[in-house]
Every structure is written in structure tokens, then in C-alpha cells.
Amino acid sequence: MWKKAILRPAAVLLLFAVPLLIKSNYLLSILIVIGLYTIIVQGLGILMGYAGQVSFGHAAFFGLGGYTVAILTTRFHWPTVLALPAAALLPGVIAAIIGRPTLKLRELYLALATLGFGILVHIAFTEGKELTGGPSGITGIPYLSIGGLTFDSDIKFFYLVWITLFLILAGINNLVRSRVGRALRAISESEHAAENAGIDTAKLKLQAFIFSALLAGLAGGLYAFYVTFISPSPFGFHASVQFVLMAVIGGLGTFWGPLLGAAVVVTLGEFLRWAVPLVIPGAGGEYQIIFFGLILVLLMIFRPEGLGALGKCLKLSPEKMPGTGIPSKDI
């Protein structure tokens, strides 16, 4: 109990003090990217860990959010504060359209549908020259401005992203302990049994999918406001796989898993970019990928349930020990 009362607020305070302690914009930008990716992986974690579905199209939702902001603010001159909710809404609506027919089916239909969808959207970003700027993308996206506060520096953006993330975390913490969260956990354990219990599994899976797409879109919108430039390259199939990887490495169905997964994958990538050329002089990106893959394989061998389960063992997270589920707030 004392761990919860002291360690968690201390960790949050330390995190929020980081911009005041470090002077490096590079480190700050890495933390912002981790925060943005965690928002996406939180949604994906609900979809995969609780609703038992896999999506290989979340980079497309991320991109749709980014392009929505870019197009609305540069082509149609929308106020930035309105473009951001639109960035979340559009992927949510598209997820509802894709999810409705596919989520009535079991198994990996959603994974296949989102895989195709992701590829199509990436092609649309690249080929939609008039609207999307083609491979060169869209430049000149304004900074996000909310009620006179303009997020025009890394420090301001750091606080925006991490406060947004903690609000989402609080919401998800509530959700997984609610009636709906209990039903989602039931679906992930046995869809057949959940149906038997009178749970409309297709509807709940669809809601989880829409929710995850909304979060990916929101992260995309924030990303566009942060880099003020957008192009198709960060939104390809590779990024979708990376998001799934973050969710799995972090640990499906765990509270801190998405954050840990995003942090490990992003920092590992950055570390290898720096470390590999020191070990193998002149080594390019292909060597980094080999090391990256090796480390991930080792992680999966020695901690197949993901890193989030470490927090469970230390009883730092809201869950109990691994495999024993989340205590209901209704007891």
C-alpha cells in the first residue's frame, strides 16, 4: 500500500521534473515520442489484451490523425484547437466502418482487414498529391494553440503529451475495472463463454477497436502539431508492426505495459543507432535491425508475458500477481 501511496506520485513528480533537470532537447524529444507512442499502444493494449483482437493498421490511424490536422490547418485554416478533436474522430469513424463487418467474425479477420487498410491508407498518403502533398508531405503546420497558450517549445509539448497520457491512463484504469472492463476480460479469456453469459461480444470488440483508433488518431494529431511537418514515411506497415511489438513487449493486459513497451522499443532503437557503429565501425541501419531483433527475441524468451508483469510482481501496478487478474472495484 505504501508503495502505491509514495512510489507512484514520486515517479510522476520525477517525470514531470525531467524538463527542468535536463537541458537536452534530444532527450526531451525522445520522451515526447515515447509519450505519443504510449497513447497509441494504450489503445492497442485494450484491443489486444482485453478484447483479444490484433490490428496491423494502427499506423494508418496514427497517420490519419496527423494528416487530418495537417490538411485542416494548412488547407482549410481551421483553428488548431478544433483540428485536434477532428484528428481523433476521423479514425474513430473509419474504425467503426471497418470493424462492424469484421468483428462479427472471430479469429484474425480484423488483423487481415487492418493490414489491408494500413497499406491502402499509406498508398493514399503517397499518391494523394493535391491533398496530402504526396511523398514530400505537408509543411507549415501551425503550433497547437489552446486558449492563448501556444505549444511552441519541446518543454511545453512534453507537458501537453504527458498530461494527456496520464489522463488517458486514469480513464483506462477506471475502464478495465468497470462492468465493461470485466466483460472485455471475459471476452479475452473465452469469447464463446462471454457470449453464453449474455455479453454482446461483437459490440464490445467494436467499441474497443474504435477507442483504440481514437487514441491513435489523437496521438497522430499531437505528432503533427509537434513536428509541424508530415509525410507518409512514419505511417507505413513497419510502424504498425512496431506498435504491436510495443504492446506485446510491454505485456498485454497490464497497466504499465504500454508505457514500458514504448519506452523500451524507442530507447533501444536510439541506443543501437549510437552503439552499433562503435562496435562495428561503419555499420548501417541493417546491423541495428539485427541487434534490435536479437534483443527482442531474448526478451520474449525470458519474459514472454511482457515487461508489465514485472510491475505486477513488485505490486506496483493496480493488478495483482500475473495471471490472477484485476480486482474488481465492485467488491
Partner 1 sequence: MLRIQALDVYHGYVQAIRGLSLHAKEGELLAILGANGAGKSTLLETLAGLHRPAKGDILLNGKSIAGKPPEYLVRQGISLVPERREIFHSLSVWDNLLLGAFHRYRHAKQEIHSDAREILEIFPALKGREREMAGTLSGGLQQMLAIGRGLMARPKLLLLDEPSVGLAPMVVREIMATLARLKNTGVTIILVEQNTRSALRVADSVLIMERGRITFSGSSGEIMADSTVQQAYLGRRVRPAMAL
Whether 220 and 62 have beta carbons less than 8 Å apart is answered as yes
Instruction: State the minimum distance, in angstroms, from the CB of residue 184 to partner 1.
Output: 11
Residue placing its CB nearer to partner 1 in the complex, 8 or 179: 179
Residues 181-240 that bind partner 1 (CB under 8 A): 182-183, 185-186, 189-190, 192-200
| CB atoms near residue 189 (< 10 Å) | 12
Comparing CB distances to partner 1, the nearer of 286 and 330 is 330
As measured in angstroms, the least distance from the Cβ of 282 to partner 1 is 50
**Residue closer to partner 1, measured from CB, 176 or 263:** 176
Nearer to partner 1, 270 or 305 (CB): 305
Cell numbers found for residue 210: 474504435
Q: Find the binder of partner 1 among 4, 8, 129, 179 (CB under 8 A).
A: 179
In the complex, minimum distance from the CB of residue 253 to partner 1, in angstroms, rounded to a whole number: 9
Smallest separation, CB 170 to partner 1 (Å): 21
With beta carbons less than 8 A apart as the criterion, state whether 36 and 168 touch: no
330 binds partner 1 (CB under 8 A): yes
Nearest Cα neighbor of 258 from 315, 197, 216 is 216
Which residue, 116 or 325, is less far from partner 1 as judged by CB? 325
| Residue (12 or 321) nearer to partner 1, CB | 321
d(CA 267, CA 230): 22
Asked if residue 73 lies in contact with residue 40, where contact means CB atoms within 8 angstroms, the answer is: no
Q: Measured from the CB of residue 48, what is the shortest distance to partner 1 in angstroms? A: 16
CA distance 152 to 274: 28
Residue list 285-324, contact with partner 1 (CB under 8 A) = 323-324
Stretch near partner 1 under the rule CB under 8 A, chosen from 6-14, 41-49, 74-82, 180-188 = 180-188
The phi and psi torsions of 256 (rounded to 5 degrees) equal: -90, -5
Distances (CA, A) of 55 to 4, 67, 78, 96: 33, 20, 31, 13
In angstroms, the CA 187 to CA 207 distance is 13
3 state DSSP class of 319: coil
Looking at the Cβ atoms of 122 and 312, the one nearer to partner 1 is 312
Q: Strands, E, within the chain: which ranges?
A: 138-139, 145-146, 149-150, 229-230
Size of the site for partner 1 (CB under 8 A): 23
265 scored as a contact of partner 1 (CB under 8 A): no
In angstroms, what is the minimal distance from the CB of 203 to partner 1? 8
CB of 223 closer than 8 Å to CB of 36: yes
Residue 293 in grid coordinates: 531483433
Residues that bind partner 1 (CB under 8 A): 179, 182-183, 185-186, 189-190, 192-200, 323-325, 327-328, 330-331
